[in-house]
Structure 1
């Protein structure tokens, strides 16, 4: 699938963990699609020329796309609404065990409960259960 988006949106879709652009949409898109580098589309290609940069993004559906349960999607979005908080405090009271089981997985990525949501890789978000 090929999408033409504002460059800012395309950057969020393709963002890597640890960057400011990485967020819930990055996790959901990258779990279902492989992102291939696209290219910028200059504003001069349009009339009238827009004030934003455009980007042509290539998405290929993963052979086995990961689809999040609705309650997990909601929780992930909530975590990214408070990006400055640590994941341990974000999950406290939102999971039956306070998130202890999932937080125990963070050392696999070299992280702990003090990590911010944008530091956590997509593969670990996929293991989150509510």
Structure 2
């Protein structure tokens, strides 16, 4: 395809040609700046022979660019809106590298999808321009599936991207930061103004890249993943309280105050310290110690 979709004229032409009415309920905002598309594909480091999953292709702005990068690789585009799927089928008719899947990304078993469509066991990369209202559940759904990803690059609301990448002792560090960083290493690679979308959203966006750790010490050290995330949720549900109070008065998990006090002392962490000041490794150490102490009692 010679004409770029990710331009004002290219996008408007498709919207007009297919008489498309954008669905606000699905968070449909289309990129009209090919430079942003180039930044996303560059961050994805597509080499040409991967299995790429795209979530929410819309009218194919990013789809078009990814297909141009793929030589022997395959692209699976997952789109919830059946009307958009019909448009994509027309725009990319005859494109053998592309498979369109009309499904809700929130309900997909990603391991089953990989097994069904990535039959040649290619490296897997995932890209997405995510609707703001489902950003977190989609990201966490992919990460918790433990799909073996070489790279994950997505565009999200700026505030969400900053929360994902935030570190300890910052206001934006929270449960989402820990949950994402437990699985992969995030980085904001570019700031994106609202002006590059049709229609324009009310907020700016960022492009976030997630890369696998060379060695994921977090997952290696955690005794119980379920218990660890109960501890994390307890810490940030009452982030202004001291660590002892937020854990011993948690609505998420029932912990004895004396046990919490002893665990914190054993870890060399002051009982008046707030949980938001802890590193992920410190949270894991506390979680492991409390978990062991509960088992012994």
TM-score normalised by structure 2 residue count: 0.39
CA RMSD of aligned residues (A): 2.0
**Corresponding residue to 1:64 among 193, 204, 215:** 215
Matches within 5 A, 1:80-99: 80-92=236-248, 94=255, 97-99=259-261
Number of equivalences: 126
1:44-85 Cα deviation digits (max 9, x unpaired):
111000001110001101133334511221221122111111
- Cα offset for 1:105? 2.4
* 1:126 and 2:280 matched: no
Q: Which has the higher helix share?
A: 2
2:177 maps to which of 2, 11, 26: 26
Structure 1 residue aligned with 2:273? 115
The structure that has the greater radius of gyration is 2
Q: Who is 1:78 aligned against?
A: 234
Where does the alignment leave 5 or more consecutive residues of structure 2 unmatched? 1-151, 249-253, 292-297
Distance 2:196 2:265 in 1: 48
- Structure 1, unmatched stretches of 5+, are none
Pairing partner for 2:201 from 42, 47, 50: 50
Q: Report the alpha carbon displacement of residue 20 of structure 1 after superposing the two structures with TM.
A: 0.9
Counterpart for residue 3 of structure 1: 154
Q: Is the 8 A contact 1:88 1:103 kept in 2?
A: no
Kept after mapping to 1: 8 A contact 2:235/2:276 = no
Change (3 A) 1:52 1:106: farther
Q: Does structure 1 retain, via aligned residues, the 8 Å contact 2:228–2:284?
A: no
1:8 is displaced (CA, Å) by 0.5
Counterpart Cα distance in 1 of 2:265 and 2:233: 17
SS of the residue corresponding to residue 37 of structure 1 reads: strand
Runs (4+) of structure 1 exceeding 4 A deviation are: none
In the alignment, the residues of structure 2 paired with residue 38 and residue 84 of structure 1 have an alpha-carbon distance, to the nearest angstrom, of 31
- Aligned partner of 2:189 among 38, 43, 47: 38
Summarize the Cα distance change of 1:45–1:106 in structure 2 as closer, same or farther, 3 Å threshold.
Answer: farther
Q: Which has the higher contact order (CA 8 A, sep 6+)?
A: 1
